Amino acid sequence: MRIDILTVLPELFESWINNSILKRAREKGIAKINIHNIRNYSTDKHKRVDDYAFSGDAGMVIMIEPVYRAIEQLTKECDYDEIIYLTPDAKQFNQKTANNLSTLKNIILLCGHYKGVDQRVRDHLITMEISVGDYVLTGGELAAAVVSDSVVRLLPGAISDETSALSDSFQDNLLAPPVYTRPANFKGWEVPSILLSGNEKKISEWKMEKSIERTKKLRPELLDKNEDYQEEN
């Protein structure tokens, strides 16, 4: 999978792409992550990429020209399945969206900054918009990192135990059950005996029970989307 990230702060991604799962995925050739500085596509001698809004509102707006030039250059190199703009006023990112994006070959992530980008970028160049939550960040760099991380870890071979991703929270509109490891008894705090029994059927039943229990308590709205739960209730 190829991910191209357009940003005005490329240095923010250096540590992130060179560590942990992202690093391994890149070294294995599973994911190729390219960081592009939008300023490199500016025709301004000072590499300026923002200007005042015509409306007179406070805050600066990323101009259309450098973004257009960047996307134009990238689309000459390969075909993109999605050109995505990270912005707080879009549909919220979730596990289903991550799953769908992980099946694609090439995507561009455009990081918003300042007051956002010229609306014509969104109207004519962007194919999909994503928000990571109902709040405003300094820029879209953190959002791009969140989206990329959640997608890359789903790619075959990115994590050592691929079945682990299938049991994550939200994969089936349920929160994951509690997890435990050694020691089985710490200061009198014991691991549930069922997990030590070796009875796979009983353990699976316990996990499902706890998943539903946690979801009811913390995110009850998710149960409305779980078909198996709805059929049983």
* CA-wise closest residue to 15 among 194, 158, 142, 157: 142
What CATH number is attached to the domain comprising 182?
Answer: 1.10.1270.20
Residue 206 domain-assigned (yes or no) = yes
Shared-domain flag, residues 136 and 171? no
Look at the block and give the residue holding tokens 């300042």: 114
What CATH number is attached to the domain comprising 43?
Answer: 3.40.1280.10
Shared-domain flag, residues 82 and 196? no
Shared-domain flag, residues 120 and 218? no
Shared-domain flag, residues 129 and 178? no
Residue 160 domain-assigned (yes or no) = no
Q: Residue 77: give the domain boundaries.
A: 2-152
Q: What is the mean pLDDT of residues 152-161?
A: 88
Residue 86 domain-assigned (yes or no) = yes
Residue 139 domain-assigned (yes or no) = yes
Residue 24 domain-assigned (yes or no) = yes
Shared-domain flag, residues 39 and 66? yes
pTM (predicted TM-score): 0.87
Shared-domain flag, residues 45 and 83? yes
User: Backbone dihedral region of 58: left (phi > 0), alpha (psi from -120 to 50 degrees) or beta?
Assistant: beta
Shared-domain flag, residues 171 and 221? yes
Q: 166 pLDDT exceeds 60?
A: no
Residue 198 domain-assigned (yes or no) = yes
* CA-wise closest residue to 226 among 218, 29, 216: 216
Q: What is the mean pLDDT of residues 82-109?
A: 96
Give the helix/strand (H/E) hosting 229. Answer: helix 227-232
Mean pLDDT of the chain: 92
* CA-wise closest residue to 83 among 74, 91, 92: 74
CA dist 98 and 172 (Å) reads: 13
Shared-domain flag, residues 145 and 177? no
CA dist 230 and 34 (Å) reads: 43
Q: What is the mean pLDDT of residues 155-163?
A: 79
Largest CA distance in the chain: 70
Residue 179 domain-assigned (yes or no) = yes
CA-CA distances (angstroms) from residue 86 to 68, 152, 206? 16, 17, 39
Burial 106-119 (b: 16+ CB within 10 A, else e): bbbbbbbbbebbbe
Residue 18 domain-assigned (yes or no) = yes
Shared-domain flag, residues 176 and 144? no
Q: What is the mean pLDDT of residues 186-214?
A: 96
Counting the structural domains of the chain, the total is 2
